[in-house]
Chain A
Amino acid sequence: MGKRIATTLDASDPPKRRTYKITCVSKTLSPLSHMSGTAGNEQVIMREPICYSGGLRYVPAITGNAIRHRAIRAPLAQHIVETWDLDGQLTIAQLQFLFHGGTLFRKGGRISLAEQDALYRLMPAIQMLGCSLPGQIVPGNLYVHRGTLVCRENRERLARLLPPELASGLPEDLRPATDFIGSYQYTRNVHDMSVPTVQAKDAEDQDARADMMIFGGQTVITGAMFAHGFQLVNATTIEVGAIWYALNQWQANGGTIGGMASKGHGRLETSLAIDPPVDWLDQAADEYQAHILAVASDGRAFLDAAFAEPIKRKGKKGEGQDDEAA
């Protein structure tokens, strides 16, 4: 390990906190199917209205919600599960908490600031992403930017969103968003439409009608580029390490966003710049992993305590009063 960096483990030496801006650009290595719904039988990609000097356009985008889950929360939750040996040991509520941020089940004010501090110390991922414990919403300090398609309609915005040294490289004439929208059509094959290498036992009982299904939709084509990023507010170096670790895990495992990943869609290749520039990202990631390992037993105990009471879903208006009266 290289130079020593301050972490939240150093109780006697409070970690220095500062705000980091991380700018990412991601190129699509395969068609991207980040959907917003369907029109008839076709899936429609997520678009957002853009008002620019040429008027109003609907331009493909990637939601910050999708990015924070796939690129940050899921890899960090997976790491905690593996390091704390939690596979098969967690309740659904605990899994929801780790992988999806949890749900508020009870009336608020259940944990003290000291407990919140302990939670942040045990799980820097929660300090960044925030969460909902059964009785309290806990805020996070990570702001995730939406994925902005690098196209003509977004050029004016990109010139302001990107750091000046990158923005200066933007060509004056980018391709319009419509150039980056493609489509796909797939077929779900069925046994009775395939070459019959294996005969079905009940083949004689089946009618001749084929159940082969054709399905299709829109995509953002391969080779398109999205600019996105993160702002880590008042963060310690260990949180930067967590982000760096999460992003690398996400990329190493395919770097997918959106749907149809099982069919090869949504692969992104990401590169990033961090402001202020630092040269200790790998060390910070190592420290983050070491930290999670060091707090394993405390972390398991925290999860058990926080989710000790059985989850009772909030009833509809009026139902609670009846319960109390009873």
Chain B
Amino acid sequence: MTIAILDAERFRRQLAGLEDDRPQGERTRERLKELAAQLCFLLARYYNRDELDPLKLWERIGSAIATACEQVDDGDLDRYVSIALEHVRASHSRVAADEEWNYLLAEICEQPESDRLALVNYLHHHSYAVLIHGRRYWEQYKDGKANRDDA
């Protein structure tokens, strides 16, 4: 028979690599960067190209981030996201039907208050960087979609 019998030593060996040995500060910064980039990507996805100029996509997302940062200083990320989505005139039905939004919202809105404030603070002070990271996600998504549309 081929299955190995598990004991504490074997289990410990198998756990190698699953431990997060990054310093806490670095871990938090990477997570904030990831969440902010995902938020920008989703704003690009729901940017209303019928009502807004497609050529001003990133300018508009930049101002959506800035406007939301100015209006939300209490870590209310539900409100933050709503303001940003309104700014890009996102369709309510498309946003409501999107599972990625559900995951992202659940992820960011359920954070403790200190983490939510940290995310707003990060978005406020890294406005250009988050656009660049979000655009990278968007370009990857667009490439895949274009290929599918061609097919």
Contact = CB atoms under 8 A, between A and B. Distances in A.
A166 B20 CA distance: 18
Nearest to A214: B147
B106 to A, nearest CB: 5
Contacts of B112: 54-55
Contact of B3 (A56, A223, A251): A251
Interface stretch (B4-12, B56-64, B84-92, B128-136): B4-12
A223 B17 contact: yes
Interface string B98-138: 11101100110011100000000000000000000000000
B8 A225 contact: no
A213 interface: yes
Interface stretch (A100-108, A131-139, A170-178): A170-178
A143 B15 CA distance: 26
A169 interface: yes
A31 to B, nearest CB: 16
A171 B15 CA distance: 8
A41 interface: yes
Interface in A189-229: 210-216, 223-225
Contacts of A179: 20
B50 interface: no
B11 A169 contact: yes
A166 B11 contact: yes
B20 A174 contact: yes
A163 to B, nearest CB: 9
B25 interface: no
Contacts of A282: 1
B96 interface: no
A175 B103 contact: no
B20 A152 contact: yes
A49 interface: yes
Classify chain B's interface size. 35 or more
Interface residues of A, number: 54
A282 B1 CA distance: 7
Given A25-B6, A58-B106, A176-B31, A169 B151 contact: no
Contacts, number: 107
Nearest to A22: B6
Contacts of A152: 20
Interface in B8-44: 8, 10-12, 14-15, 17-21, 31, 34
Given A56-B106, A175-B18, A178-B34, A169 B8 contact: yes
A151 B12 CA distance: 14
A290 interface: no
A57 B5 contact: no
B107 A57 contact: yes
A47 B100 CA distance: 12
B2 interface: yes
Nearest to B102: A58
Contacts of B31: 176
B150 A272 contact: no
Contacts of A150: 15, 18
B103 A47 contact: yes
Given A166-B11, A169-B8, A273-B5, A58 B107 contact: yes
Contact of A173 (B7, B19, B110, B145): B19
Interface of A: 23-25, 27, 37, 39, 41, 44, 47, 49, 54-58, 150-152, 165-166, 168-171, 173-176, 178-179, 185, 210-216, 223-225, 244, 247-248, 251-252, 270-274, 281-282, 285
Interface of B: 1-8, 10-12, 14-15, 17-21, 31, 34, 98-100, 102-103, 106-107, 110-112, 144-145, 147-148, 150-151
Given A25-B11, A150-B15, 15 more contacts: A39-B99, A47-B103, A49-B106, A57-B110, A151-B18, A165-B7, A166-B8, A170-B15, A175-B18, A176-B31, A216-B144, A271-B10, A272-B6, A273-B5, A285-B1
For the complex of A and B, list the 5 residue pairs with the smallest distance between their C-beta atoms, beginning with the closest. Answer: A55-B110, A171-B19, A271-B4, A56-B110, A273-B6
9 contacts: A27-B14, A39-B100, A57-B110, A152-B20, A168-B8, A171-B19, A210-B151, A214-B151, A247-B3
